[in-house]
Every structure is written in structure tokens, then in C-alpha cells.
Amino acid sequence: MLIADDHPIMRDGIAVALESSADMQVVGQAADGAEAIVRYRELRPDIALIDLQMPGVDGLQAIQAIHAEFPQARLIVLTSYPGDARVKRALSLGACAYLLKTATRDEILAAIRSVINGKRVMASEVAGEIASHAWSEMLNDRELSVLRLVATGHTNKRIADILCVSEDTVKARLKNIMTKLGALDRTHAVTLARNRGFLDA
């Protein structure tokens, strides 16, 4: 098993917890997504536990790269961050399971064994969040391009200049974004989008 997390204490803690089980062995660790990709190539572990928020190459990028090179890779997200859009993206990029760091040792072990047996696993809190947004419309690429610029503090006029569209187009996209997210204003829209994972890299 490979553990990828940018916090050494977290990596060590997970390793100790898992290796206390006779059928688990941690063969390597990685401090960021780039190292996770290299270590996966070297070690070819049965399972990789990958955090999402890591410096440089993040977990989503690592999952995408590993899965592209090793389509049969069994990749498990272990993160502090839920959010239905974030979860859907991780699964679409090749993750087999999505767990939160609030999970108990037994829950993580059970998930690992399920993934080894070809099953997909999702934390109950995550499944509930996906269900709560099941009928919500996803933001499209054009709307996301506007929202990312809103999140960095740009005005509508500046966004229009950057995207080479009219200011009215920006306003229309913002209206659609707020409707889809159920946001009260642009600041609220950014907050909701961040929480759901729309603004992840």
C-alpha cells in the first residue's frame, strides 16, 4: 500500500493503524502528488491512499495521471474535504473509493478490502451529500471560467475583458451560476462552489 499525504504525522499515523492488521503492509509514502506518481510507478502497490489537498501536483491530478498510466490501479481518496462535485470528479478520474479522514481505522480497513475485491466505496456522509444535490444542475465550463475569476476578486468588466466576451454575457453566466447553486449573491456563490468542490484544480 502507498500513502500519499503532505502531512508526515498523518502518513505515519495511517501507516501504523493499517499495519496493525496482519493483511496490510505499507510499502511506501509520498508527500505530494508528483511523488505519489513516481512512487506508484516504482512500487506498483495493490492500493494507494491519496489525499486531495497537496502542494504542487494535487491528489486529483495524481489520480488522473496514475489511472491514465495504470488503468487497473486501485486508488482510494482519503481526505478532509467532501463536496459532491469534488467526489464526482475524483471518481471520474479513476478513484475507486472516497473516504473522509474522520473515518475509523476499521472503516478504512473495510474500504480497502472492499476495493481489493473490486467494489466501490463511499463514505456515508459523502453519499448523503451527493444525494442532496442529485437534482442540482452542474456548472458548465463557461460558468466555471467566470466563477474562478469572481473568486479571485475580478469585476464583471475585467472578467469580460479576460474571457473576450461582453459584460452582459458575464452577468448572464453569473445569474445562471447563482440559480444553479442557490446562491444569494456572487460571494455566496463562490463559497458554495468551494464547499462543493467546483473550484478545485
- The answer for residues whose C-beta is within 8 angstroms of residue 55's C-beta and 6 or more apart is 6, 32
Across 49-67, average pLDDT: 95
- pLDDT, residue 130, reads 84
- 97 with 122: CB under 8 angstroms? yes
| Per-residue pLDDT tens digits for 85-141 | 889 999 999 999 999 999 999 999 999 999 999 999 998 888 888 887 777 788 899
- pLDDT, residue 90, reads 94
- pLDDT, residue 129, reads 81
- pLDDT, residue 201, reads 55
Enter the pTM of the model: 0.79
Q: Give one word for 44, left, alpha or beta, with left for phi > 0 and alpha for psi -120 to 50.
A: left
Tell which CATH classification among 1.10.10.10, 1.10.357.10, 1.10.3720.10, 3.30.930.10 matches the domain 141-196.
Answer: 1.10.10.10
Distance, CA of 159 to CA of 66 (rounded, Å) = 34
Which sequence spans correspond to the domains of the chain?
2-132, 141-196
| Per-residue pLDDT tens digits for 133-159 | 777 788 899 999 999 999 999 999 999
CATH T-level assignment (fold) for domain 2-132:
Rossmann fold (3.40.50)
- 19 with 26: CB under 8 angstroms? yes
36: which 3 cell numbers? 505519489
| Angle, helices 59-69/84-93, rounded to nearest 10 degrees | 20
